[in-house]
Chain A
Amino acid sequence: MKGEGVAKGNAGLRALHPITRMRDWWADAPQWQRYTVYIALIVIALILPAPWIGSFMSPYSDWTNVLVYPIGTYILLAVGLNIVVGHAGMLDLGFVAFFAIGGYTLAYFGTKHGWTFWGTLVMGIVLAAVSGVILGAPTLRLRGDYLAIVTLGFGEIVRITANNTDEIGGARGITNIPHPSPILGMEFLLDAAPYYYLILGAIILVIIFSVRLTKSRVGRAWAAIREDEDAAELMGVPTFKFKLLAFAIGAMIGGLGGGIYASKAVFIQPETFPFILSATILAAVVLGGAGNLPGVILGAFVIGWLPERFRFLAEYRILAFGAVLVLMMAVRPEGLLPSRQRKAELHEGTGGMGTMGAEVPGPDSDSTAEVSQ
């Protein structure tokens, strides 16, 4: 009874909030309105590289370049990591490994064997997925926090292996990675604009894929696993299979991002793929609101863009990410723009990993918890 009252009170308050009202409208919007919004968003994305926008957004460096890397690449990776962290509820600290595998596949086959961009990109995605399965198969049965450390170790293994293998350039890396062959009259050379449209296309495809997937049976299985893995298993959800699927799909998107990045950058080396990049993408997902695509995209945009716009911030970037992660977890663990479902879970349930030990509430903290909600 008490809980109901609180929920009603909350709803009354929340309805005043403009974002909440927008969401309520969105939830009931008919299909034509939704498609209008989608098309409007794509049009905005298409005119985004315009110089007049760039003169405000990025006065210090070429805006289109910034849109490809870091912003576009971060968004693509964040959408991929969101499937693993936000939907399936597994903490992956080595996401950069798949980015590296995609990049190195493209670089290696492109320079040593003269493969074309499109063929190698597919190859990179497949190899990333395979490595995701190879890593995931033995480790996904582990507890969530162990998984985090194992993925972190995997990220380091990939980087050190690349560093120690002369066949792929060792510490010097690979140079002269071929550009993609022209499509639809777009020449991929040094100009950043075609790459922007390429990565935009990739982002749109991945978003559609991700949305369709999460609204399907697979997405419901992920939600069940995230909320309570044991209960999901008892209800007949093959949890291991679905976790592995989430892991592999996340890895594929990471590999796709790596392929596009390598062909744009022309040069990669092991130091292109540090742990800090994994942490950055995780910060983007968490900041935006794990599990909610618009939030995740916003988070990745902000984290990619802020240090470019405010150069004096660039030096303090990682310091700020660290502080943001700590603050966010203490104040608003669901992120800036959370999915409603995820928010409810984080406040009421255990979010898939159980709670910390030694957190016995004091004699009167029960009632205070109710009030503060």
Chain B
Amino acid sequence: MLQELQNQFLPSTVGGLVIGSIYALVALGYTMVYGVLRLINFAHSEIFMIGTFASLVTLTAIAPAGPLGGIAMVGVLVLIVVISAIVSGGAAVLLEQVAYRPLRKKGATRLAALISAIGASLFLQELFGLKVINWLTGKPGRNQQSAPRFVDRDTLFSIGNANVRTDHVLVIVAAVIVMIFLDQLVSRTKIGRGIRATAQDPEAAVLMGVSIDKIVRITFLLGGAMAGVAAALYVMEIENTDYRVGFVLGIKAFTAAVLGGIGNLRGALLGGIVLGLVENWGAIFLGSQWKDVIAFVILVLVLMFRPTGILGESLQRARA
């Protein structure tokens, strides 16, 4: 057992950091929407799923003959990240318009909003499984769809016995850049101030001249775009997707958001990384088929012992 731990600890750590970065990006969407609306945007996982297909279709259209190098590789990555972010962001805005805005205008209960979110999630998943994926790829919509490889899988450098590959570095670097961008946007710009004000006290924000509808729309746009970035990185790293890809990943990202402290952007980052690491370390002992169970057990434990998460809740107090 100890031998196994020694052999697998560093490789698992690298794997955990990579998948944790993707969790963190998706968690940002949950955390921002929860901060502003006090709503678990259950359909956020489907926004991620839509993003993976935006990336997949773009990659298929480019049809790289094999792994690219240097500028071409980074160029393709930036392209799929931007396209996925736009598609996912747009889908999130549309989702808000259709599934949440009417309820918000009526002052509906949170239970009603959550049920509406679940409905939207089921609807989008099935829409893709039944029709959209088939239109996009020409293959049966219920099947796994694989994406062409454009980043090589060669070892870039090693830390101990852990081989760090180019795609690992790209995921982590891209995630960090995007998160710094979002953090600055929320803590320094006028829009960010509007988001924080709305999260803190919607009524006072309205009195101060903040347009709530606009802020909510921007929140969904930003959260969706983050899910789109995560989706592009996921497609590059995992190289396949299907119409149910968002379900488990979505729950884990939500777990990450709660773990870090929901409503807290830096918490989402921390939560994602911690969840990715713990899940991978746990798999050394229990086997990788228990990964999902580990993540859910962590969720229950966090909610039992520290429901406000590691960094504490709220979009307003943490200034980010």
Indicate if the CB atoms of B116 and A146 lie closer than 8 Å.
no
List B contacts of A154 (CB < 8 A). 296, 300
Do A356 and B110 touch across chains, with their CB atoms under 8 A apart? Answer: yes
User: Once the chains bind, are A354 and B38 in contact (CB under 8 Å)?
Assistant: yes
Segment from B50-58, B76-84, B96-104, B158-166 that makes contact with A: B96-104
Contacting pair A146 B122 (CB below 8 A): no
Which of these, B102, B106, B121, B130, contacts A316 with CB under 8 Å? Answer: B130
Residues of chain A in range 323-359 having any CB-CB distance to chain B below 8 Å: 323-330, 333, 346, 350-359
Most A Cβ at <10 Å: residue of B255, B289, B303: B303
B115 adjacent to A286 (CB under 8 Å): yes
Q: Which of B4-12, B148-156, B246-254, B271-279 has 4 or more CB atoms under 8 Å from chain A?
A: B246-254
Tell me if B221 counts as interface (CB < 8 A to partner A).
Answer: no
Most-contacted residue by chain B among A150, A330, A351, A369 (CB, 10 A): A330
Prevailing SS type, chain A contact patch? helix
Is B122 touching A156 in the complex (CB atoms < 8 A)?
no
- How many Å lie between the Cα of A150 and that of B255 in the bound state? 9
**CA distance in complex: A200, B89 (Å):** 49
B198: chain A residues within 8 A (beta carbon): 357-358
Shortest CB distance A319–B (Å): 4
Does the CB pair B107–A326 fall under 8 Å? no
- Which residues of chain B have C-beta atoms less than 8 A from A146's C-beta? 258, 303, 307
Q: Are B39 and A356 in contact (CB under 8 A)?
A: yes
Is A271 positioned at the interface, with any CB of B under 8 Å from its CB?
no
Among B114, B199, B212, B293, which residue has its beta carbon within 8 angstroms of that of A157?
B293
Q: Is the CB of A142 within 8 A of B307?
A: yes
Chain A residue contacts of B215, Cβ below 8 A: 358
Nearest residue, chain B, Cβ from A147: B303
Q: Give min CB distance, B34 to chain A, whole Å.
A: 9
* Tally of contact residues, B, Cβ under 8 A: 61
Within 304-333 of A, Cβ neighbours of B (below 8 Å) are at 315-316, 318-319, 321-330, 333
Docked CA distance A66–B289 (Å) = 35
Q: Does B123 contact A (CB under 8 A)?
A: yes
Contact of A318 among B100, B126, B247, B290 (CB under 8 A): B126
Q: Closest residue to B121 on the A side, CB-wise?
A: A322
- Measured between beta carbons, the chain A residues less than 8 angstroms from B248 are 156
Q: How far is A94 from B34 in the complex, measured between Cα atoms in Å?
A: 22
Tell me if B37 and A357 are in contact (CB < 8 A).
yes
Closest to A363 in B: B206
B18 at the interface (CB under 8 A from A): no
Whether B299 sits at the interface, judged by CB under 8 Å, is yes
What CA separation (Å) do A282 and B100 show in the bound complex? 19
User: Within A149-166, which residues are at the interface with B (CB < 8 Å)?
Assistant: 149-150, 152-154, 156-157, 160-161, 163-164
Q: Is the CB of B299 within 8 A of A321?
A: no
Given contacts A346-B109, A357-B37, contact A330 B115 (CB under 8 A): no
Query: A359: which B residues are within 8 A, CB to CB?
Result: 104-105, 107, 202
Q: Would you give the shortest CB distance from B204 to chain A, in whole angstroms?
A: 9
Given the contacts A156-B248, A329-B119, A356-B39, A351 and B111 also touching, CB distance less than 8 Å: yes
Q: Is B216 an interface residue (CB 8 A)?
A: yes
Give the nearest-CB partner of A361 in chain B. B107
A355 touches B109 (CB 8 A): yes
Q: Which residues of B contact A75 (CB under 8 A)?
A: none
**Contacting residue for A138 out of B247, B296, B304, CB 8 A:** B304
**With the chains together, A279 CA to B199 CA distance in Å?**
30
A154-B296, A356-B39 known; A326 vs B199 contact (CB < 8 Å):
no
- B299's contact among A144, A153, A161, A318, by CB below 8 Å, is which? A153
B25 at the interface (CB under 8 A from A): no
In addition to A144-B111, A330-B103, A357-B202, 13 A-B residue pairs with Cβ atoms within 8 Å of each other are A145-B39, A149-B40, A156-B251, A282-B115, A319-B130, A322-B125, A324-B119, A326-B123, A328-B115, A329-B115, A351-B109, A352-B109, A357-B37
A interface residues, Cβ below 8 angstroms from B: 89, 91, 93, 138-139, 142-146, 148-150, 152-154, 156-157, 160-161, 163-164, 275-276, 279, 282-283, 286, 315-316, 318-319, 321-330, 333, 346, 350-361, 365, 369
- Report 30 cross-chain contacts, Cβ distance below 8 Å, ordered by A residue: A89-B111, A91-B111, A138-B300, A144-B110, A145-B38, A149-B40, A149-B255, A156-B248, A160-B292, A164-B287, A164-B293, A318-B125, A326-B116, A326-B123, A329-B119, A330-B106, A333-B108, A346-B112, A350-B110, A353-B110, A354-B38, A355-B109, A356-B37, A356-B38, A356-B100, A357-B199, A359-B104, A359-B202, A360-B203, A369-B107
Q: B residues touching A (Cβ–Cβ < 8 Å)? A: 36-40, 98-100, 102-116, 118-127, 130, 198-199, 202-203, 205-206, 212, 215-216, 247-248, 251, 254-255, 258, 287, 289-290, 292-293, 296-297, 299-300, 303-304, 307
Sorted nearest first, the 5 A-B pairs with minimum C-beta distance are A325-B119, A322-B123, A322-B122, A153-B296, A351-B109
